[in-house]
């Protein structure tokens, strides 16, 4: 199985901050990496697919980069609605998609 490790596990930040979350794969997954945002009691929402493509309707302050084993999700200027938990998901290994453990983004 491909293991996905996110860092940090939690993060405190203020509105307007630039925030970066990283995701590392245990082996190369090319660009088969997706990012999701989840708010309490809600289903995850797709933000970024194929490492760097912005899902339709997602604000442009969200961006993704990386390939191989190391990936990042960046929020350029945090908004109040961005405080949530973020998950990466590798989609290279089929069968066997795996998610990172999540990064909880909290208000400082």
Question: Which token pair is 91?
Answer: 């989609």
Q: Euclidean distance between the first and final Cα of the chain, in Å? A: 36
3-state secondary structure of 96: coil
Region from 19-27, 62-70, 76-84, 86-94 binding another protein, contact rule CB under 8 A: 86-94
Cite the DSSP H helix spans in 1-108. Answer: none
Q: Which is nearer to another protein, 5 or 72 (CB)?
A: 5
Q: Is residue 91 at the binding interface for another protein, with CB under 8 A as the rule?
A: yes
Q: Which is nearer to another protein, 17 or 68 (CB)?
A: 68
Which is it for the CA torsion 47, 52, 53, 57, positive or negative? positive
Q: Supply the minimum distance, in Å, between the C-beta of residue 76 and another protein.
A: 22
Which residues make up the interface to another protein (CB under 8 A)? 1, 32, 34, 36, 42-46, 49-50, 53, 55, 87, 89, 91, 94-102
């Amino acid at each position: 199985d491909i293991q996905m490790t996110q860092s940090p596990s939690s993060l405190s930040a203020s509105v307007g901050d630039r925030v970066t979350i990283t995701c590392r794969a245990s082996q190369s997954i090319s660009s088969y990496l997706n990012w999701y945002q989840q708010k309490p009691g809600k289903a995850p929402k797709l933000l970024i697919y194929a490492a760097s493509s912005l899902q339709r309707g997602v604000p442009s302050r969200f961006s993704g980069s990386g390939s191989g084993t190391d990936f990042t999700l960046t929020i350029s200027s945090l908004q109040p609605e961005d405080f949530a938990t973020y998950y990466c998901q590798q989609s290279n290994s089929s069968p066997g998609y795996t998610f990172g453990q999540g990064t909880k983004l909290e208000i400082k």
